[in-house]
Amino acid sequence: MTNKTSDKSIIDLVIDDHEEVRSLWKQYQSEPDQKAKGDIKDKVVYNVAVHSHAEELVLYAAFEAFMGAKGKELADISRAEHREIKKEYYRLDRLKHTDPNLESEMQRAYDEFNHHAKHEENEILPEFSKSVNEDQLKSLGGAFTMIKTTVPTRPHPSAPDTPGLEALFGTAVAPVDWLRDLFRSLGK
């Protein structure tokens, strides 16, 4: 089996995902229509969920594989941050666009995400980049891109986040999430 490579490194792809969520947040803030805000909220939840699952399966596993004990420590810290993010986005996912708490919940969820994203971009990813070469980063980028097509599309804060169990859980729950996404889109 050959490794799928990407034109972009996993670091660039992770940062691109962070920027996409930030862009959606700006759209949300400037959107006057409450229904449209609900649609943007759904896109944010989807993007954060897919990104988080892919990071845990590919990036955090790479931390452990390439960085030894320090990588395990960084992966554990990152998984703990993800647990908090998933809790926030799980709550957010359940809100309707008419919910009076939508604004405050969206703000809280975004703040949690952005805190984690900045921590990754400014501290964790630069440290990781010292442990791998460009070809490895691009190969991981290919794996990251590919895995995003198979992971759950909703946050699951009580799901296991250890690499083997998370992959098994994700395989079982992703089709349910895809059906929920389909029904949500048909209802619009």
- Note the CATH number of domain 10-186: 1.20.120
Distance CA 1, CA 159 (A): 29
Q: What share of the chain is helix, strand, coil (3-state, %, to 5)?
A: 80, 0, 20
Residue 48 confidence class, pLDDT cut points 50, 70, 90: very high
Average pLDDT over residues 27-31: 97
Residue 3 confidence class, pLDDT cut points 50, 70, 90: very low
Distance CA 75, CA 56 (A): 8
- List the domain boundaries for the chain: 10-186
> In this predicted model, what pLDDT tens digit does every residue of 67-86 receive, in sequence order?
999 999 999 999 999 999 99
Q: Which amino acid is at 131?
A: S
